Amino acid sequence: MGQKKSMLELHRLGVEEYKNVEKLPLTVVLDNVRSEMNVGSVFRTADAFLIERIVLCGITPQPPKAEIHKTALGAEESVAWEYYPTCLDAVEQLKRDGYTICSIEQVHDSVSLEQFVVNRGQKVAIVFGNEVKGVSQAVVDASDVCIEVPQHGTKHSLNISCCAAIVMWHFYHLSY
């Protein structure tokens, strides 16, 4: 087995460098996610995959919060974010800005994640929902497509931070 890499060998960007580097044209939208730790985890993953921004909606906690920082490890400082009172307001604005809206939800006629293809440079917003209720039906109805992460175990869903990591990786992998 190999030796663990040092922090210098990882060649990580500083916060200011990160803010100026080209990002994936992908916006993550959190629809009434209640856990600060889930929000922090999404920030940390968004930082890892050069996501352009996170949109926090409704009851979703906003930085600065101790529990967000605990899991984000400072990514709440590097990843751009904004807040909307409702997810539907955010989705409508993103549509006006030319984004394809993809709700990550289990619905009839959803597209399985591994079959979803994005065109290089296409602006996409991926919406993740509340830990219990998922993405609101109004937002599902306003979406261009619903994407489902295939699962085969006994549970009907993944934790939002795990699901977000899988989906962000998929988009990152398609783009690089």
pLDDT tier at 174 (50, 70, 90 boundaries)?
confident
Can you tell me the distance from the alpha carbon of 2 to that of 92, in angstroms, rounded to the nearest whole number? 49
- Summarize the confidence of residues 95-122 as an average pLDDT: 95
Can you tell me the distance from the alpha carbon of 87 to that of 25, in angstroms, rounded to the nearest whole number? 19
Helix (H) or strand (E) holding 81: strand 80-84
C-alpha count within 13 angstroms, C-beta hemisphere, residue 76 = 21
CATH fold for the domain made of 21-175: Alpha/beta knot (3.40.1280)
* For residue 176, pLDDT beyond 80: no
Can you tell me the distance from the alpha carbon of 37 to that of 3, in angstroms, rounded to the nearest whole number? 31
pLDDT tier at 175 (50, 70, 90 boundaries)?
confident
Chain center to CA of 49: 10
Share the mean pLDDT of the chain.
96
pLDDT tier at 92 (50, 70, 90 boundaries)?
very high
* For residue 95, pLDDT beyond 90: yes
